[in-house]
Chain A
C-alpha cells in the first residue's frame, strides 16, 4: 500500500499522530483520549474535511471523529481492510427483446455507496445495473459503454461531439433505442446539442438521470432508468428526449423534447419541465401515452444525419438593468463570434449598451435575442426599444430557450464557420422543435400555491 493510501485523506497532525502510534487506515484501534476511551475502525477521511480529526467506525455502525489533540494513545487491536464492490450479475439475454445501447457520461444514474467511507461508486456495466435494477432485463438486451467520467457541469462541446458520433454508430449497428445516462444539471444542454447534431434519427434517443442517488431507498434512479429504457426499446417517438419524473411522486415519467426541456428546480424529482409546450408523452409501467401528435415516429431504416461541430467562441449573457457596454466590448475584444442575449420582457436591453452592440455588429459578431422570462416569444416590434435593438442587428429567436439558443448558435457556427448568412438562416429556422409556431394555453403553467382553487387541485392529486 502506498504512503498516501495508508493515511488516505489524512494530513498534517493526524498523519503525524498515526505514524507515532503505528496506525494506518483500516486499523482497528482503541483510542485513549481526554474525552474518554473509544474503540473502532480507522476510516479514510474525506479530502475536503479538516485535518484535525480521525474518523472511527464504531461497532454500532456509527462514525465519529476524534480530534488529534484529544488523543493520548492509539492501540492497534486488529486490521480490517474493506473495498466495496458492486455485485455483478450476468445480464440475461433474451432474443425476443430489442437491443438498447446505454451510454454513460459520468452521472451517477446508478450507483452504490461504499458503506464505510460513504464514497459513491457508479454502477454501470450491464451486470452491475442488473444487480441494482433487475427489471431492466425484462425490457431489453442492454449494451453499455462508458464514454466519459465527468460530472454534469463538466460536460461541454468536446463531449457533445463524441456523444453525437457514438449515437450515430449505435444507430448504424442496429440498436432499437439509445439511453444516455447523464448528470441532471446540464442534461438539457446536452439534450439540445444532440437534438441539433443528430437529425432525424430513426430510433428514440433518451437522456436520463436521477435527482436522488440510487444508494437511497427512495431514489428516483430505478424508475427513471426503467422508464427511459422502456421508451428507448419500445417507444414510438424517434427524437432526442429527456426522461425524468413527472410529479415528485413515484408515478410516471415524462418524455420531454430535447430542445424544450429545462431543469427548473435544484433538487425536486420533478425538476424537468417542458417550457412553452406540453411534453411529448408520459411513460408508466410499460405504457407510453403520447401527449402530442407532432412527434417524429420511429422508423425501421438506419438513416440519420450526424452534424457534429461546435464553435466554442459563442456566449450567453443574462442582461441586467444598468449593464455597462464594456461587458459586450470585452467579449468582442476577446474574439467571441456569437452572443445570445437573454433580454428582459419581450426582448429588451438598455440604451446604454447600444454603442457596444453596434461595435459588435460591425466586428461581425452575430447577436441573437432570447428571453429571461423563459416563457413567451421575443417580440421586438411592440416597443420602440425593441425596434431600436433590431436596428442594431440583434436577431430575435421567437420562443427558443436561452440555453438552447446558445447551444444552437455554437453548433450552427461550427457547421458553417465561414458563412454568417447560413448561420442566420439556420438560427431562425426550427429544425428540432426549438422554435414553435404557437404556444398552447397550457404550455405555460406555474401554479400559484395558496390560491383556493390550486389548493383544491393539489388536494386531489399526488404531488
Chain B
C-alpha cells in the first residue's frame, strides 16, 4: 500500500492480518485435520460478504422484471472499459490490470429481461421501493444502525461484469450484532455485522476466451443486499455457520430469492503474516470450510516462498523491467527464445510459431526450485504465474507456459541450458517460457516479473475465484479504496422514522429467537437450531404443538417426511396447517398415540382429497380397542401354525407386523407386543404338550 492511498483514508480496515509473523513451521494439513486451536496458531481470520438477491417484481434502477433467467438473446453490444483516474490522480491497480487485458466486452441482450438502462444507454430510474423496504427489513433483523438518507454510490468494476463500469450501491445500515448460537459446534456468542448495502447485481459471464469476454445481462440490475461481517470468524466451520445464519436471517423475511445463484458469498481470508484475500462467488455453504482452509495454507506457502527468497537475497530491483519498449528488448531478464532454442520438438510451441506468435523466455533470479513448491492440493507456485498470464495477457491457446523447474517438459535439457546461458541464469534461477502474439507476449513477460516481485511481499492483494474442488485461482487485483464515488444520476433518498418504525412493527421473528423458543418448548438445542432454519418452521408454528413430547415428535416428523414428499413431488412446498393441526390436537389429547404421527402425516399428504377426520379416525383410540386386540391376536396366532418350526423371534416379528398396523395410534406398541408374545407363548406351549 503506498502512502497516497493511505492518506485518502478510505481503504477498508483490516487488510493485513494483525499477526505479522507467519507460522512457517506449521506442517501442511488437509481439511478436517486441524483443531480450532491449530487455526488460532495459524492466525486464521475470515469474514463474509453475503450477496442475497431480493424477491422484487422489478430490478433496482429500472422496471425490467427481476428474476428472469434466459438462455437466448436477440441483440449484442460491444464495449470497452477505460480506467478512470483516481482521486489522487492515479489509476487503481485493478483498473490498470483490467485495461492491460484489452478486453472486448460483449453483452448479450434479451428484450424481455433488459432495457436501455442495463445497456448503459439510459440514466437510472427511481430506486425500487420494494427493494428498499426489504433491505430495511433485513437490516433491522441484523440490528444495524440505519442511515437516515441513502446515497447511491458507484463502485467501479472494470472486468466488464457491469456495462457502466460501476455498480450502483447504497449504504443501508452499519454496526449490528446478532446472537450466534450453534449448539453442535459449541458456538455461543455474538456475530458482529459491519454493514449492509443495497446494490444491483452484475452480469452472468458466458465465456472468456482470449481478448473477448461475453456476458449475459438478464441478472444485471437485480436488487441484492450485501451483508458484511467483521473478520472475526476464526475457524472454517465457524465461517460456514455464520454464512448459514445470515442466509437464515434473510430468508426469515420470506422476501429473498432462493435457488442457484440467488445467494452468493465472497469470503475474506488471511493468516498470520498474510493479508486479506477475497474469494469470490461461492454459491453454497457446503464447500466453504475446505475452500478457506486451502486458502489459508496457500498463503502460508507463499510466505514460505517469501522467506526462502529473502534467504536467497532476491530483491525487487533484480526483477525490474523498464517501461519502454518490448520486455525482451529492454530487460536483461527476458529474451526472444526462438533464436536460442532452435528447432523444437514441443508441439504447442511449434503451433505457436506457426501462428506467428512470439516465444519468450524470462529469467527469475533466485526462483530456482520454488516454482515446484506446493501451494494448494495438486497445485504448485508456478500456477500463480500461469494464472496471471492467463488472466492478463489472455492467451487463446493452451498450454502457453513451461518452466525450468520441470526440465523434462517442453524443451530438452540442451535447450534449457542454452536459454540459461543466454539469459546468464545461474543454478539458483528459474526460467519461464511463454508464447503468445507479440503484444500479449510482452504483457505476459512483464506480468511474470511483476508477480515475481510480489512474491517478495508474500501474499499479493488479490481477488480470487473459488473452484469446485476447493482450490482457487487468480481473478484480479484486489480493488483499491478509490473505486467508490457518488452517483450523480440519483438523488439522495431520505429514510424517515415513520418508514423504519412501520417496518419494525411487522418484522418477522429473527432465527435466534425462534431457536430459543423451540428450546423452551422442549426441543433439544441441536434440533431447535435445525428447526429454526428449516423451511417447515412456519408449518410447525402454525400447528403450534403445546407439549415437549409432541413438539419433539413433530419436529422429527417434519424433518424426515417433508423432504421425502418433496422429492416424490407430492408436496409442492409445505403441507397445509389446517390438515396437520387436527393430528397434533389429537396427539396432545392422547386420542392418537405419537408413534402414529409420521404414518398419519404421510396419509394426509398422500390422500389429499380424503377429509382429515376420515384419515385420522383410523388412528384414534376407541373404547373397543382392547377387545379388538384380543380378537386380532387370537386370529393371528391361529394362523401362525403354518410357521411352526421357524425361530420364535421370526414368528414374533411376523405376528407384530400383522397386528400392530391395525392398532397404530390406538394402542401402546408395548402393550400390543406383550399380548402377542403372551398369546404366542401360550400357543407354543400348547403345541409342545
Contact = CB atoms under 8 A, between A and B. Distances in A.
Interface in B592-648: none
A118 B175 contact: no
B77 A462 contact: yes
Contacts of A269: 121
B652 to A, nearest CB: 68
Contacts, number: 183
Interface string A299-332: 0000000000000000000000000000000000
B146 interface: yes
Interface string B51-92: 000000000000000000000011111111111111101000
B171 A215 contact: no
Interface residues of A, number: 64
Nearest to B79: A250
Nearest to B148: A67
Contacts of B486: 63, 113, 117-118
B151 interface: yes
Contact of B147 (A35, A215, A455): A35
Contacts of A38: 145, 147, 174
Given A61-B153, A87-B89, A217-B82, A267 B147 contact: no
B143 to A, nearest CB: 9
Nearest to B172: A64
Contacts of B163: 218
B10 A87 contact: no
Interface stretch (A49-57, A94-102, A139-147, A396-404): A49-57
A60 interface: yes
Contacts of A20: none
A36 B487 contact: no
A218 B149 contact: no
B150 A65 contact: yes
B119 interface: yes
B516 interface: no
Contacts of B111: 449
Given A63-B486, A267-B122, A458 B74 contact: yes
Interface stretch (B25-33, B488-496, B540-548, B674-682): B488-496
B624 to A, nearest CB: 67
B145 A35 contact: yes
Contact of B76 (A80, A219, A462): A462
Nearest to A222: B82
Which residue of A35, A85, A214, A265 has the most chain B CB atoms within 10 A of its CB atom?
Answer: A35
A268 interface: yes
Interface string B142-185: 00111111110111101000011110011100110000000000
Contacts of B79: 218, 249-250
Nearest to A70: B148
Contact of B488 (A113, A214, A265): A113
A49 B116 CA distance: 27
Contacts of A455: 74
B591 interface: no
Given A62-B153, A67-B149, A113 B171 contact: no
B83 A217 contact: yes
B109 interface: yes
B95 interface: yes
A218 B121 contact: no
23 contacts: A36-B144, A57-B10, A60-B484, A62-B170, A62-B484, A65-B148, A65-B149, A66-B148, A67-B149, A70-B148, A84-B87, A87-B85, A115-B86, A116-B87, A211-B121, A215-B485, A217-B83, A217-B166, A218-B81, A249-B77, A251-B78, A268-B116, A459-B74
Interface of B: 9-13, 73-87, 89, 95, 106, 109, 111, 116, 119-123, 144-151, 153-156, 158, 163-166, 169-171, 174-175, 195, 197, 481-488, 491-492, 494, 497, 500
Q: Which A-B residue pairs are the 10 nearest by beta carbons?
A: A36-B145, A65-B149, A217-B165, A118-B486, A61-B484, A87-B89, A67-B148, A249-B78, A115-B87, A63-B151
Given A113-B485, A113-B488, 14 more contacts: A50-B494, A59-B9, A65-B150, A65-B151, A67-B494, A87-B89, A115-B485, A116-B485, A218-B163, A218-B165, A248-B77, A249-B76, A459-B75, A462-B106
